[in-house]
Amino acid sequence: MTRRSVNYIVEAAAKRAGLHSVHPHMLRHSCGFYLADQGYDLRLIQDYLGHRDPKHTVHYTRVAGSRFIGLWAES
């Protein structure tokens, strides 16, 4: 499958869903943020996304506020 065909498929699916300006790279970012939010290890995410340098993967570990709910709850 060519890069152009992937772009076409993603663009067509976005149009059908009523979304604007969706690109294949957005799917990659969504996957990275999802894995980080689920608590997966940084090295696993790095491997999965094919990053050579961990500094590129750290971008996905920005903390979602929901991950802190109950962190400092009194026992």
**37-74, pLDDT tens digit by residue?**
888 888 999 999 999 999 988 888 776 666 677 777 76
Q: Is 62 left (phi over 0), alpha (psi -120 to 50) or beta?
A: beta
Q: Is the dihedral of CA 43, 48, 54, 57 positive or negative?
A: negative
Query: 57: buried, middle or exposed (CB in 10 Å: 19+, 13-18, 0-12)?
Result: buried
Provide the domain limits for residue 57.
24-75
Within 13 Å of residue 55, how many CA atoms lie on the same side as its CB?
0
What would the two tokens of residue 48 be?
């999965």
CB 25 within 8 A of CB 14: no
Q: What is the count of structural domains for the chain?
A: 1
> Does some domain include residue 56?
yes
User: What is this structure's pTM?
Assistant: 0.69
> Does some domain include residue 17?
no
